[in-house]
A and B are shown apart, each in its own frame.
Chain A
Amino acid sequence: MIVRLLALALLLPVLFLAHDRIPLSGVPQQPDANPPRWGANSASWHRIVAGPLPGLWADQAILEIFNIYNVAKDKPSTERPQWWHLLSYQLHRALTLDPRFRDAYRLTEGLLAYEPGFSLDAVDILEHNARDAESGEYLLVASFLAHQDLHDDARAIRLASMAASKEDTSLLAAGFAARLIQRGKGCAAAIAFLQQRKRLLPEKYAGGIEKKIERLKQDPACNPEPAADMPETQAMPPSWLRGEASQS
């Protein structure tokens, strides 16, 4: 009996040691030099692997994003793109498996979109899933990004008109597009819009938007006057469609 108890007492530290050494989270400490890119066959492959539980695998992709972001947020700028490619891959995966998943849309517009160099990817994801998104607010953000970051006004108008076709943003999208694309008023409107979006994310995930606001405020071309240009955005009615994130 004593020998068995001793053996158990000796084995317990081994378990703790192993727990420390084995990466249980599934997130690599360093991403591959060539992180996976979302390709033509990726969607089919992931749909097959998900079997009869596509929703659950989409949820798992979101948890994976939280893990990646927690590791990646403090990395130096030279290492960040590799991590953000991983994050983008998981967002593609989540929306492929569940095209109506609002958490994935919120993270696409809230995390991916404000990382330098990834705005185009975020707009592509949002536009690709435009038909399935139940709310127009994400298309509105895509329209904003197309105008503000990509300087592609044609695409911004197209996205705003897609948002206008959704019931919850029809009036807002029309006014938003008109104001946003109006030259000379874009900057204050952009800051007001970003501040409104920032409130919808948990504080720990809002770093990207905050940096973007700071960049805009420091831009000499930008007029940092109070954002009276965006009454429609400020007046967005609180509803479950655009409620603050549950973690905030």
Chain B
Amino acid sequence: MNDIAALIRLTLRELLHQRAYILLTAVALLIPWLLIIPMSLFLIDLGKVLSDMLFAAEHVLLSCFLFFIAAPLMARDIEQKVCHLLLTVPLKRSRYIIARFGGTALAILPMLLLFLLSSCAALEVVAHFWPVYVKAGIGLSFLLGGGMLLLPYLSLLGLLYLISTASSGGAETLVFLLSAWLLSWSVPPVLAALQQPEVNAKIPDWISALITAIDHILPHLSSGRLALDIAHQHIPPGIQLGAYTLEHLAYMLITLILAIMIFERRDLT
């Protein structure tokens, strides 16, 4: 267990000292306060508008982390043979992947925590100065929503490990990661649109059955729906939140297990 903990610590040190990470963290602290400026353009739903913009900012921050900090780490390990150094310790390949993944996932937390706390403070300040337009307790709702939004990115991080263990280098990893990221953005709303009664009536039965089957492997509560409900301070039912959490964690574990299976068989020479 010590070898995993040591590699997690090393990964954290590597990531947290990167200039890109420090810059992202500074942006995460500052952006909630800057978003108050465009918020003031609106008429009534100021708290909801600020929450919408904060959720969008969180998507951008987490995507930047994935593409510019997490993806290059694994690509560098494989391309520059850094993993050879670590595996000669000796360290099992499976433990190497688990530790690298654990370190990367933990590295998200300081940045995200600072962003959520800064957002919560900004929302509470707005609620204090404009109590007519912002409901009390909006900061706490956002903390819950922002925390839940991390889960799809943990799934994507698992997918990144699966992609990088199978790909030949950084460029290939980025291309496949971008495709997976675009799919994760577009599939839930496309499925929801295809399941509308008026659209469903026009498509053949077998396609309809296929859509229903695909829909069953995705969480019923999409990230978009979650963000919208939280912005209006409607907390989704606990069972939906639980299913959302479980389903994303299951995706993360599945992709991680597949990544380990591929990496154990990979020729690293």
Contacts and interface: CB of A to CB of B under 8 A. Distances in A.
Interface in B191-227: 192-193, 196, 198-199, 222-224, 227
B199 A44 contact: yes
Given A40-B198, A44-B199, A52 B42 contact: no
Contacts of A41: 199
Contacts of B133: 240, 243, 246
B158 to A, nearest CB: 18
A52 B44 contact: no
B42 A103 contact: yes
Contacts of A50: 189, 224
A44 B193 contact: yes
Interface in A78-121: 98, 100-103, 106-107
A215 B190 CA distance: 47
Given A62-B42, A245-B43, A48 B190 contact: yes
Interface string A200-212: 0110000000000
B227 A55 contact: yes
Contacts of B43: 102-103, 106-107, 201-202, 245-247
Contacts of A44: 193, 196, 199
B123 to A, nearest CB: 14
A51 interface: yes
Interface stretch (B53-61, B168-176, B244-252): B53-61
A59 B53 contact: yes
B25 to A, nearest CB: 23
A54 B192 CA distance: 13
B27 interface: no
B77 interface: no
B189 A51 contact: yes
B224 A53 contact: yes
Contacts of A101: 45, 48
Contacts of B40: 246
B109 interface: no
Contacts of A166: none
A63 interface: yes
Interface string B164-190: 000000000000000000000110111
Contacts of B5: none
Interface in A52-70: 52-56, 58-59, 62-63, 66
Interface of A: 40-41, 43-45, 47-48, 50-56, 58-59, 62-63, 66, 98, 100-103, 106-107, 201-202, 240, 243, 245-247
